[in-house]
Structure formats: structure tokens, C-alpha cells
């Protein structure tokens, strides 16, 4: 572990090291992480620090603890940051691994839209916001179409970020230490009209889900607002907020 002075707790630093080792393939699904003793010796941290880092990995779905075996790496969910998808048809289960993201518009700076379902705070409204429009598909099927509004507050060089096939929420954490802390969402079913059928590449009147979300973060007066349309013909939507 780094000896440099850091405001990030040591357990969180160790969590990030192990999380990246998992997401970058050093440890694959089914592998067993080094033991607690091996970890605290390797990274020169205390045993409670190791246990906190492992507990966070369990909580975030990267590993599971197995009595007598240790920390087993889980298959990574593929999806929309804090949401993921799971095939619900026999011929679609494995295709979820092929989720791709296409940026349709943005990021660019715009005025906050009027009549949002979740109202930004006065501090958020004091500045313009970043706008992103993106489409996410599995193979030839569009699963998500999303419109995001993010406060233009202390995000240097965000306009230059490449978000194609990238995790937005991972980028926000790694580059700006913005961490998702929960939020609120409203979900309802709609019949796809011309606009929605175009977004999701489905026939008009097809049933789709609409989600309006306010995603809260560890920054005061910094929530992410999204409008999300979902095609659930082949995939279930799952996740926590």
C-alpha cells in the first residue's frame, strides 16, 4: 500500500486494488482470493482493514465468503452501473456478457430541463449540467436507452472523457471520487410510441419500462438524474439503488 498521505481509508484503498484485480481479470470467476493473512502481509495493513475491504467486496457482489474455502470471486454482472441485466430466456443467458454502450450525444453542457420528475436542488440548478444520451445493446437488441443530467460542479475535463463502452459510475469514482450512495426511482410500464420505439428499436405499442431516477452520491448537492427506457423482452432488470 502507498505510504503517501491520503484521505482515502486504507480499507477503501485495498478494496479498490482487489476490485481492479477482479475487473481486469487477474482473479476470475471461481478463483479464490489470497487469505486474510496473506493480504495483510502483502499490503502491510491490519487484519481489521483486510476484513473491511473484503466485506465491501461481498456487499458489492464481487466475492462471496465460503466457510473453509475463503473468498470466492463471483461472475461480474454486466449492466448499467448500479443496474444489471440477466437473460430470462433460454437462448439469452450468456448474451448479457456482450453488453456494449454507444454514446448518442454528449457529454456537453446544457441548461437543466424543465418539469423534471425529480427536482434538482437550488445549488445544482445554480449552474448548467452535463448532458449524456446513450444506447446500450446486447448483440442486435437494444436493452437500455438513457438520458442523463449531471451537475456541472467540480468535474474538470469531464467534457473530454470517452464514455464509449465505459462504466460512467466507475469513471466518476476513479477520476472524481464520486461514489453512489443510493437514491430514488419511479418505474412504470408504457406502450412504446414513435419516440420510444425509435430509441429501443422495437415495434410501436410494444411494452417497455420507463425509469426516472435520482441517484445520490457522497457529494452534497450532487445527484445524477436519469430517464431510462428498458426493453425487457429477453432480459430481466436487476439491481439496487
Domain ranges of the chain: 10-73, 79-239
Query: What are the Cα distances from residue 34, in Å, to 57, 70, 71?
Result: 14, 8, 8
The mean pLDDT of 30-44, rounded to a whole number, is 93
Question: Considering the chain, what is the average pLDDT of its residues?
Answer: 84
89 or 152, which is more confident?
152
Q: What is the pTM of this model?
A: 0.65
Count how many Cα atoms sit within 13 Å of the Cα of residue 223 in the half-sphere of its side chain: 21
pLDDT at 57: 87
- Place 117 in a pLDDT band, splitting at 50, 70 and 90: very high
Query: What are the Cα distances from residue 106, in Å, to 110, 158, 181?
Result: 10, 10, 25
- Place 18 in a pLDDT band, splitting at 50, 70 and 90: very high
pLDDT at 147 over 90: yes
The mean pLDDT of 65-74, rounded to a whole number, is 88
Contact (Cβ atoms closer than 8 angstroms) between residue 192 and residue 210: no
pLDDT at 238 over 80: no
Measured distance CA(3)–CA(21) in Å, rounded: 20
The mean pLDDT of 233-239, rounded to a whole number, is 69
Fold adopted by 79-239: Chorismate lyase (3.40.1410)
- Place 138 in a pLDDT band, splitting at 50, 70 and 90: confident
- Place 5 in a pLDDT band, splitting at 50, 70 and 90: very low
Output the DSSP codes for the chain.
---S--SS-HHHHHHHHHHHHHHTTSS-TT-BPPPHHHHHHHHT--HHHHHHHHHHHHHTTSEEEETTTEEEEPPPP-EETTEEEEE-STTTTGGGGGEEEEEEEEEEEEPPPSS-SSPPPHHHHTS-EEEEEEEEEETTEEEEEEEEEEE-SS-TTGGG---TTS-HHHHHHHHH---EEEEEEEEEEEE--HHHHHHHT--TT-EEEEEEEEEEESSTT-EEEEEEEE--SSEEEEE--
pLDDT at 75: 78
Measured distance CA(215)–CA(212) in Å, rounded: 10
The mean pLDDT of 188-217, rounded to a whole number, is 91
Task: Kindly state the percentage of the chain with pLDDT values over 90.
Answer: 48
The mean pLDDT of 81-89, rounded to a whole number, is 49
The mean pLDDT of 118-122, rounded to a whole number, is 93
Kindly report the length of the chain.
241
60 or 213, which is more confident?
213
pLDDT at 167: 83
Q: Which residues, 6 or more positions from 121, have their beta carbon under 8 angstroms from its beta carbon?
A: 221, 223
The mean pLDDT of 70-94, rounded to a whole number, is 57
Please tell me which of 63-72, 82-91, 223-232 the model is most confident about, judged by mean pLDDT: 223-232
What dotted CATH number matches 10-73?
1.10.10.10
Closest CA to 219 of 123, 84, 125: 123
pLDDT at 91 over 90: no
pLDDT at 6: 52
Amino acid at each position: 500500500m502507498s505510504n503517501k498521505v491520503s484521505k482515502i481509508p486504507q480499507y477503501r484503498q485495498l478494496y479498490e486494488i482487489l476490485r481492479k484485480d477482479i475487473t481486469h481479470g487477474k482473479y476470475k470467476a471461481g478463483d479464490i482470493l489470497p487469505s486474510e493473512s496473506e493480504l495483510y502481509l502483502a499490503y502491510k495493513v491490519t487484519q481489521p482493514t483486510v476484513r473491511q475491504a473484503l466485506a465491501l467486496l461481498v456487499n458489492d457482489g464481487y466475492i462471496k465468503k465460503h466457510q473453509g474455502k475463503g473468498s470466492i470471486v463471483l461472475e461480474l454482472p454486466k449492466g448499467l452501473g448500479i443496474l444489471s441485466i440477466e437473460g430470462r430466456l433460454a437462448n439469452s443467458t450468456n448474451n448479457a456478457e456482450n453488453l456494449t454502450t454507444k454514446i448518442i450525444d454528449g457529454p456537453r453542457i446544457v441548461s437543466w430541463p424543465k418539469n423534471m420528475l425529480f427536482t434538482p436542488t437550488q445549488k445544482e440548478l445554480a449552474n448548467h449540467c452535463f448532458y449524456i444520451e446513450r444506447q446500450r445493446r446486447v448483440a442486435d437488441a437494444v436493452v437500455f436507452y438513457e438520458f442523463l443530467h449531471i451537475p456541472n460542479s467540480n468535474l474538470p475535463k469531464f467534457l473530454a472523457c470517452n464514455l464509449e463502452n465505459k462504466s460512467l459510475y466507475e469513471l466518476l469514482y476513479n477520476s472524481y471520487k464520486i461514489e453512489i450512495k443510493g437514491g430514488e426511482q419511479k418505474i412504470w410500464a408504457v406502450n412504446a410510441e414513435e419516440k420510444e420505439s425509435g430509441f429501443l428499436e422495437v415495434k410501436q405499442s410494444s411494452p417497455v419500462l420507463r425509469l426516472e431516477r435520482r441517484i445520490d452520491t457522497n457529494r452534497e448537492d450532487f445527484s445524477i438524474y436519469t430517464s431510462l427506457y428498458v426493453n425487457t423482452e429477453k432480459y430481466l432488470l436487476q439491481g439496487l439503488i
